[in-house]
Amino acid sequence: MANESREPVYVGIDVSKDSLEVALADKVASVRFENDEQGVNALLEYLTSHNVAVVLLEATGGLEKRCAHAMYLAGMTVVVANPRQAHEFAKSMGYLAKTDGIDARMLSHFARTLHSSERFDKLLFKMATPQQEQLQALVTRRAQLVHMRVAETNRLNQAHALSAKSIQAVIKTLDKQIKTLDEDIGNRLKQHFAQKLKLLEGFKGIGEGTKAVLMAALPELGQLNRREIGKLVGVAPLNHDSGKMRGRRSVWGGRADVRSALYMAALSAVRFDPTIKAFYERLRVAGKPAKVALVACMRKMLSILNAVIKSNTAWEQRYPQASAA
């Protein structure tokens, strides 16, 4: 089908479980497609009649993956935006009402804005490798089972004697499944990510669980600078200033699963890793609250890990990357 226009077209797609609401930046009306294989194919056919510059979708817990993959494989330039960023853009542009069509149109305008950004190349969607997708599926399932085990354990503490036996049986089953997943995850880390993980061996506090999350959910590790990787994960302090008012610096957004893994790793590192322990104690002596100091340690750990992977040089204490992070 011949293109209707050679003008660059910016596409915003509001994703839900059942549908894809599609808007073009220069058109008022949006078009709806089913969020299934047939619907995505119809969407692809629809977009071939336009000179698509950028397709932007909002991250929606994985519901966007089928569509993003299809657009990417069709050779389109795809961005999967952080929901917080999309929300902030919507506020700045005065989008007060909220419908699927309005959201899609807002995303199309966001796509046009991002396209002119100096950072645009670093925002582009890149498909995960099959190994990363498989590892992510296992890591996600493990987190679900751990959550279920916590819930059952809490129930056991207050359970009637008649239900306690059933709860204990469920916990035992969950323990067994978690152990099986741990073995599978460990094997996959050795098979497909051994080279990267070898570089991190000397860093105390980075356990198997953290390694699995980093390899599965943070493929950008080693590809960005320390500020960019911090913002991506959501551990970089962001300013809230206006005129003469200086607001508190805070962290928000980013990848919650990576941030959660780093938090647990930091709790261990401030006790056992000399570099992070000294950094934490220095911040506490300077009067920083424990939580603020711990987040700073998470940020420093991420910066160090990023530098280690980027330089392809194994971590050692007093490593130059420690002071540069």
208 neighbors 185 (Cβ within 8 angstroms): yes
114 neighbors 10 (Cβ within 8 angstroms): no
Of 321, 100, 129, nearest to 219 (Cα)? Answer: 129
* Partners of 56 in beta bridges: 12, 79
pLDDT along the chain (325 residues), means of 10: 67 94 89 96 93 92 91 94 84 80 91 89 86 94 96 94 95 98 96 93 89 92 89 72 44 76 95 93 96 95 94 76 52
Of 90, 66, 89, 87, nearest to 78 (Cα)? Answer: 66
**Which tokens go with 231?**
């913002």
* Partners of 15 in beta bridges: 20
CA angle in degrees (0–180, nearest 5) for 74-42-111: 55
Query: What was the pLDDT predicted at 209?
Result: 92
Class of domain 9-123: alpha beta
Query: What was the pLDDT predicted at 255?
Result: 84
Query: What was the pLDDT predicted at 5?
Result: 54
* Partners of 269 in beta bridges: none
Q: Considering the entire predicted model, what is its pTM?
A: 0.77
With residue 10 as reference, give the H or E element that holds it: strand 9-15
